[in-house]
Structure 1
Amino acid sequence: MLSLKVTNETSRLRAVVLGTAISNGPIPSIADAYDPKSIEHIKAGTYPIEADMVKEMEAVNNVFQKYDVKVFRPKIIENYNQIFARDIAFVIDNKFIKANILPDREQELNALQHVIDQINPLDIIKPPEAVHIEGGDVMLWNDYIFIGTYKGDDYPDQITARTNMEGVEFIKSLFPNKIVKEFDLKKSRTEAKDNALHLDCCFQPVGKAKGIIYKEGFRDESDFNYLVELFGKDNLFYITRDEMYNMNSNVFSIDETTVISEINFVRLNTWLRLQGFTVEEVPYAEISKQEGLLRCSTLPLIRD
């Protein structure tokens, strides 16, 4: 049995699901793309090819092996994108919560059945149908659960709005002893530089009390100010619009002093090292063309 435990983003990682780019399928049509960045690359003829993405994911797998992390991979579905494991489920404390994802992605969860079978059935939670929530919007920080959402009236028409207020209320009901704080995120179907697809596209804690943040990702400045006050303004790395577009806040922590980051994030990686972090650099620029990066493609199961 797997004894699930995840209470924050940065404690020592022991077990994780890493997505896969094998048999990733053909380049999607614009009508089938879920986000503006993918659409941009489909139109430009620069959509990533499978071989490059497989290489990028193996670079991450190699880092996990180096740090003796137990890695689970999804069962391969032929010609299907299974890179973004964070979308389909997430762990809070000892609970494995299935996301109510876009209906045509349901089979991604089935491809993790060999992992789910190792979890106590009492700890597996499937939210009711009205609840929309994805793992990229759920950020744990000990007593806090931060959740990205979208409060616009056009929520039903925004394919880039992935977590609704019903999702926020559902998490509050499951974890009454936690401080659950939602953040209203900017969404755009047409401009990737103005689209915070999930909370981890504009904010993520690193270490014990530091974080990476993008001010303009929040629809309400008070949400941004809340995090600045909580973490302290000198403990945050403020990314630019272009850095948000390139997914600089979507790194992934092995522990409180070790961060996996994209090799091209020169400004961020320099700052991290100045703060005393070990930065494990990997190439991930091809995968980032689908508006997801390192946190999106990992699903932590156990952190010490």
Structure 2
Amino acid sequence: MLKLNVNNETSRLRTVVLGTAKSNGPTPKVEDCYDPKSIEHVLTATYPKEEDMILELDAVASVFEKYDVTILRPKVIENCNQIFSRDIAFVIENKMLRANILPNREEEVEAIGYIWNQVEEENRIILPEECHVEGGDVMPWNDYIFIGTYSGIDYPDLITARTNMDAVIAIQELFPHKIVKSFELRKSNTNAKENALHLDCCFQPIGKDKAIIHKNGFLVEKEYQWLVDFFGKENIFEIDKDEMYQMNSNIFSISEDVIISEKNFTRLNTWLRKQGFKVEEVPYAEISKQGGLLRCSTMPLIRD
């Protein structure tokens, strides 16, 4: 059995699910895309090729191997995009919560069935149907659980709105000893620079007390301000609209002092090194064209 343990975003990683790009399927039609960035690349014929994305995921796998992290991969489903393992399930403490995701992605959940079955039955959580949630919106941070959400009346029309208030309430009930703090995110089906698909597309805690943040990703200024006050302005790296679009906040922590980042994130990587982090740079620009980056394609199961 797997002894799950995840209490925050940065404790030393031991076991992780890394997505796969094998048999990723043909370039989707515009109407089958889930986010504005993918649509953009379909329309300009720059949608990423399977072989390039396999190489990018392999680069991440070799960093994990260097740090003795156990890597699990989803079972390969033919012609199915299975890169973003964070969307389909996530771990808080010793529980694995199955995400209620877009209905046409059910297959992806089945592909990690062999991992789900290694979790003690009482720790496998399937939320009620009305709770919509994806792992990119959920961040355990010690005594807190930060959750990105959207509660506008146009929620049903926004394919980019992935986590609702029903899920926030359900998670609070599951973890009554935690402080669940939700943040309204800016959503757009059509403009990738005005769309925070998940919380990790505009914010991520790093190290012990630092964070990367993009102000415009938050709909409510005082919620953004709460995070700035919580971490302290001097501990925050503010990213601009273009850096958010390139997914600068979607890096991934192996430990409190080791971070995997995209090699083109020059400004961010320079700042991280100045703060004393060891930065493992990988190429990830092709996968980024689908609106997700390093945090989206990894699902931690065990951290120290």
- TM-score normalised to structure 2 length: 1.00
Q: Hey, what does 1:17 align to over in structure 2?
A: 17
Q: Hey, what does 1:290 align to over in structure 2?
A: 290
1:110 positional shift? 0.7
CA displacement 1:120-143 (0-9 Å, x = unmatched): 111000000000000000011100
Q: Hey, what does 1:144 align to over in structure 2?
A: 144
Does 2:117 correspond to 1:117?
yes
Any idea what SS the aligned residue of 1:145 has?
strand
CA displacement 1:1-36 (0-9 Å, x = unmatched): 110000000000000000000000000000000000
CA displacement 1:118-165 (0-9 Å, x = unmatched): 111110000000000000000111000000001211001100000000
User: For residues 69 and 119 of structure 1, what CA distance do their matches in structure 2 show?
Assistant: 19
Q: Hey, what does 1:204 align to over in structure 2?
A: 204
Q: Hey, what does 1:169 align to over in structure 2?
A: 169
Tell me which moved more, 63-72 or 113-122: 113-122
User: For residues 97 and 118 of structure 2, what CA distance do their matches in structure 1 show?
Assistant: 14
User: For residues 268 and 207 of structure 1, what CA distance do their matches in structure 2 show?
Assistant: 14
Q: Hey, what does 2:299 align to over in structure 1?
A: 299
User: For residues 165 and 52 of structure 1, what CA distance do their matches in structure 2 show?
Assistant: 37
Any idea what SS the aligned residue of 1:196 has?
coil
User: For residues 219 and 137 of structure 2, what CA distance do their matches in structure 1 show?
Assistant: 15
1:264 positional shift? 0.2
Does 2:293 correspond to 1:274?
no
User: For residues 34 and 283 of structure 2, what CA distance do their matches in structure 1 show?
Assistant: 23
Q: Hey, what does 1:63 align to over in structure 2?
A: 63
1:266 positional shift? 0.2
Q: Hey, what does 1:227 align to over in structure 2?
A: 227
1:213 positional shift? 0.1
User: For residues 280 and 66 of structure 2, what CA distance do their matches in structure 1 show?
Assistant: 10
User: For residues 95 and 140 of structure 2, what CA distance do their matches in structure 1 show?
Assistant: 13
User: For residues 165 and 128 of structure 1, what CA distance do their matches in structure 2 show?
Assistant: 13
Matches within 5 A, 1:64-103: 64-103=64-103
Query: Which amino acid in 1 is paired with 2:64?
Result: F
User: For residues 48 and 152 of structure 1, what CA distance do their matches in structure 2 show?
Assistant: 32
CA displacement 1:156-196 (0-9 Å, x = unmatched): 11000000000100101001110100000000000000000
Query: Which amino acid in 1 is paired with 2:290?
Result: Q
User: For residues 141 and 260 of structure 1, what CA distance do their matches in structure 2 show?
Assistant: 19
Any idea what SS the aligned residue of 1:193 has?
helix
CA displacement 1:85-108 (0-9 Å, x = unmatched): 000000000000000001111111
Q: Hey, what does 2:178 align to over in structure 1?
A: 178
**Runs of at least 4 residues off by over 4 Å:** none
Q: Hey, what does 1:153 align to over in structure 2?
A: 153
Query: Which amino acid in 2 is paired with 1:88?
Result: I
Any idea what SS the aligned residue of 1:17 has?
strand
Any idea what SS the aligned residue of 2:181 has?
strand
- TM-score normalised to structure 1 length: 1.00
Does 2:51 correspond to 1:51?
yes
1:114 positional shift? 1.4
